[in-house]
Chains A and B, each alone.
Chain A
Amino acid sequence: MSQAGTGTHAPGDAPALPKVFEGAGRRELDAILKQYPTKQAALLPALWMVQEKHGWASPAGMAEVAEVLGLTVAYVKGVVTFYTMYHQHPVGKNFVQVCTTSPCSVCGAEGVVDAFLKATGCKRMGETSPDGLWTIVEAECLGACGFATPVLINDDFIESVTAGSVPALVARYR
């Protein structure tokens, strides 16, 4: 569930987010557009670019994507809310996804989640830690069941995490 980050973001007082599709960003988008016969097909890649730059699928980012691809904001939003990896709110500096589907569940995945919550100070899943550094969520099967329990920390895919190995892992990322 994209329940990440109920944090302290207040749209009114946040500084304006930088444009995504200008300069190098525009060139990157143009290169992407060349690879598809329609502009609409560049939507998922464009949203990844927004999330890369803004840290989440910000309204400003979605509006920019809509404009540059000739889509409506409502359409873009409908797509964003379908895919769980696009954050609909800002998240902690380290976004942690722990797989808890059955193959990992029988190998103690819930214990790994609890260990993360404890080690990071997050009160519960989906909530950003008070220091803004961590958001822990459970993920559905991450495709590394033989390496239970796999964990994604931002873009780092870490295999074979156990409840015991969590504190050291958290310390590395702090």
Chain B
Amino acid sequence: MGYPHPSHPRETVLVSRYFGDAAARPYDGWVKRGGYQALEHSLGIGREKVIEEVKLSGVRGRGGAGFPAGVKWDFMPRERTRPHYLVCNADEGEPGTFKDREILRWTPHAVIEGCAIAAYAVQAEHIYIYIRGEFTEPLRVMRQAVDEAYAKGVLGDNAMGRGIRIDVTIHRGAGSYICGEETALMNSIEGKRGNPRIRPPFPAAAGLWGCPTTINNVETMAAVPHIILKGGAWYKGLALSSPKSTGTKLFSVCGNIARPGNYEVTMGFPLHDLLFDLAGGMPPGRRLKAVQPGGCSVPFITAEEAAETLLDYEGCLAKGTQLGSGGMIVYDDSADIVHQVMRLARFYAHESCAQCTQCREGTAWTTKILQRILHGEGRMEDLDLLVDLGDQMTGTTICVLSDSCAVAVGSAIAKFRPDFEAYVRSGRAVAAV
């Protein structure tokens, strides 16, 4: 549903079905709505079959990386010589994205169920759900749901009465965007600074405390029960365009838009329809100027490009952007693109963990250049310098935070160069909107 708005008939409501339904939150309400049947079924068909179904479904990581979840689970060792861990990434921090918060606070048991199925599949007995520190309501709701699940025997030493152990710990973050990166998240759980790790090793080989670990996004986990109950083939069939992008996706539409909210549509849905049909289009008197369809770390696209974009991984790539997290930031013609790009650079500079030279210094320098441009002290060479710095910051670091900064800045300059040139040429500050 376009929560907080009523569902639109063109949505494919799956994961978001119970958004806004307070009765779905508690265990009993969830069970009434079919909850925990998928977990029961999974324990019956066995772990290999579960992994098979998830692989068949083609579901790809919904946090932004888009890696096939089933393949990820398949990486886990079959012979368990050390503890295995399952981690749920609820550190939603990509600007523009606000879907996981809804899943957590409306359907906490869906998350627990998805995680439990995943844990069973990869032979993990302990699940860590990492919720960002600012999500005080999801933290409260999830803690309560976990308590309920223990009380009802879903979790614990004898999960679902099947003699296996499934434990859940809610781990609260403390303010760091980069902790949404899976290896930084693991370091954060371990009680360290949230620095991303060099890879290899990958989490399935050595993750939490050096043990095999699987990490998935909240939305991915929430999709798992549906895949198990209705089958991977069914999920795979939900694809409007590319066969490599299957199932449904929550798009968090925000910014300059009439009906901001989360819209769940089948992969391959036209971006234009999402904005103008489902989300109500532009505010009165405004024209669409730019979109970042997958969070602020994906390239800007123009209104013209947006009109031709299909919302799946391949469709976005074809238009020179990315599906990313599905956090769709909409900019109308009242938005000051230059100011927003500066604000994004400032965001990256604030969030850089400080390990890599290019990111640590480059994000800050980029911000300074943009601030000068905004203050009317920019030069034309600054635009080429920004692109050049962006090149230095791309493909050279441990994680892709600096690449993301380069992408946001570089694509804005590429697509909206006249906006930047206007600031430089006018030689005076233009008041921020």
Q: Nearest CB to that of A85 among chain B residues?
A: B175
- CB–CB B343/A44 < 8 A: no
- CB–CB B174/A141 < 8 A: no
Given known pairs A85-B134, A156-B136, the reply for A102 and B329 (CB within 8 Å) is: yes
Q: Which of A35, A36, A142, A143 has its CB near the most chain B CB atoms (within 10 A)? A: A143
A60 contacts partner chain B, Cβ-Cβ < 8 Å: no
A69 to B192, CA, bound (A): 13
B296 contacts partner chain A, Cβ-Cβ < 8 Å: yes
A159 to B177, CA, bound (A): 20
- Mark the stretch among B43-51, B344-352, B385-393, B399-407 that contacts chain A: B344-352
Q: Nearest CB to that of B176 among chain A residues?
A: A83
Contacting residue for A44 out of B174, B327, B432, CB 8 A: B174
Q: Separation in Å of the A31 CB from the closest CB of chain B? A: 11
Given known pairs A101-B296, A102-B344, A141-B177, the reply for A146 and B262 (CB within 8 Å) is: yes
Given known pairs A44-B171, A48-B172, the reply for A141 and B189 (CB within 8 Å) is: no
A143 to B252, CA, bound (A): 10
Q: How large is the interface on B (under 10, 10 to 19, 20 to 34, 35 or more residues)?
A: 35 or more
Q: Which residues of B contact A103 (CB under 8 A)?
A: 95-96, 254-255, 296, 327, 329
Q: Nearest CB to that of B90 among chain A residues?
A: A143
Q: Which residues of A contact B320 (CB under 8 A)?
A: none
Given known pairs A107-B256, A140-B347, A145-B255, the reply for A102 and B95 (CB within 8 Å) is: yes
Q: Which residues of B contact A13 (CB under 8 A)?
A: none
- CB–CB B174/A106 < 8 A: no
Q: Mark A39-50, 1 if CB is under 8 A from B, else 0.
A: 011111101100
Total interface residues on A, CB under 8 Å, equals 45
- CB–CB A143/B174 < 8 A: no
- 8 Å CB contacts to A: which residues of B341-366? 343-344, 347, 350-351, 353
Q: Which residues of B line the A interface, CB within 8 A?
A: 4, 83, 92-98, 100-101, 132-137, 167, 169, 171-177, 188-194, 209, 252-256, 260-262, 296, 327, 329, 331-332, 334-335, 339-340, 343-344, 347, 350-351, 353, 432-433
Counting from the closest, the 8 A-B pairs by CB-CB distance are: A43-B191, A85-B175, A83-B174, A84-B175, A145-B254, A146-B260, A40-B191, A141-B95
